[in-house]
A and B are shown apart, each in its own frame.
Chain A
Amino acid sequence: MGVDALASELADRVVEIAARVFELDAQGLSMSDSPQTIERWDSLNHLKLITAIESEFSIRLRMQTVLKINDIAALVAAVQSHREE
């Protein structure tokens, strides 16, 4: 599987988890979605999203990273960079 395909698969999984946490349809979510565009993305659901992501990918993000994530694209990037470490 190519690098692009792997990145795309990762993004799809992240979007799927976000959709589950925010109780939305994954088809309706995009990389640019953020707390400004998703009503349910409040501070508590942000933590729930991080916990779901950490559990799915068996990773543990640093608190500074957790607080910097401000859209789906940043979340995908955080997971990707953590996996590359």
Chain B
Amino acid sequence: MKLGRFLVPRSLLSLLALMKWGCRVSPRAECEWSRHLRLGRGVTISSFCKIKSSDGPLSIGAGTQVAPFCFITSHAGGVEIGNDCLIGPSATLAGNSYRYDDLAVPMRLQDQVSRGIRIGDNVWISAGCVVLDGADIGSGTIVTPNTVVSGRVPPNSVLQGNPAKIIFTRR
């Protein structure tokens, strides 16, 4: 598959995704078509996104739209994005982090840990947000621009800030 990334033109893969799953994946997005990747019907992945799925399960639900410049990476814990989500420009979803408990070893050489990311249905992650490993965002939530989310968020929340705080509950 890794070799295929370089040999198969991206425009061909985009066409295949459109025909097979009705997904609109920009040829200018860098999407790793690994065995871990699951795209629902009608998913949109815009230009200049990086979707890294070779290290763990990554599923994006039907109708979800990923705006330009997003970075989504999965690891052992997986990244699960629900249906009808909106992921704004330059959002980052990082489903792993590094261990740092051994002062004598550079962090890049210590193990990686991955609890995974879960995002419910109809979640709006605005521009510039960062969703860290372990985040569990309930359905109907709005994450306002540049917010950093790392923990569990109840459904229908409106989040803001770093660390994210619930500023309102939709009703």
Interface residues of A, Cβ cutoff 8 Å to B: 44, 47-48, 50-51, 60, 62-63
Contact = CB atoms under 8 A, between A and B. Distances in A.
Contacts of A60: 171
A48 B168 contact: yes
Interface size class of B (residues with CB under 8 A): under 10
Interface of B: 144, 158, 160, 167-171
Nearest to B171: A63
A63 B169 CA distance: 10
A42 to B, nearest CB: 11
A48 B171 contact: no
Contacts of B144: 44
B167 A51 contact: yes
Contacts of B160: 44
Given A50-B168, A63-B170, 7 more contacts: A44-B160, A47-B168, A48-B167, A48-B168, A51-B167, A51-B168, A60-B171
